[in-house]
Amino acid sequence: MKKIIIIEDVHCWMDGGTITLKMKKNESLFYDVEFVQKVSLTNREKSPRPGSLLLNNREIEIRSELETEILSEIKVAEFGAKILESEKELLKKIIAEAVEFVESEEYIKVAEKVGRIK
């Protein structure tokens, strides 16, 4: 059975770049994927670490199978009905840049700076 992945909503936060995707898989499984901002590398209490990738508010292990699966799903996802046609191209670009960052070496460098990896 082919997975149907829909991005139902996108939130672009004014904190330096955090992006939250409200996702739906196969008509029934809802989940949030968040790319945490990477502009301010200061760890704040009760906030996700800068540069993190989150699934339902939980940090995803760097270069894990889950990370690969989530990024793959985002790459093939379609936009849901709530996303305006006039916003789709810009949102595609924003999301693609976030995915590229997670797949880059810079992601590893940021993770080291904020203590996600030693």
With left for phi above 0 and alpha for psi between -120 and 50, is residue 45 left, alpha or beta? beta
- Say what the pLDDT of residue 1 is: 58
Report d(CA 18, CA 113) in Å as an integer. Answer: 18
The pLDDT assigned to 106 comes to: 96
* Beta carbons within 8 Å of 105's beta carbon, 6+ residues apart: none
Parse the chain into domains and list their residue ranges.
5-113
| Segments of the chain assigned E as strands | 5-12, 19-25, 29-35, 53-55, 58-59, 78-79
Query: What gap in Å lies between CA 50 and CA 23, rounded to an integer?
Result: 22
Distance CA 5, CA 65 (A): 18
Tens of pLDDT, residue by residue, the chain (118 residues): 567 899 999 999 988 899 999 999 998 889 999 999 998 888 877 789 999 999 999 999 999 999 999 999 999 999 999 999 999 999 999 999 999 999 999 999 999 999 998 7
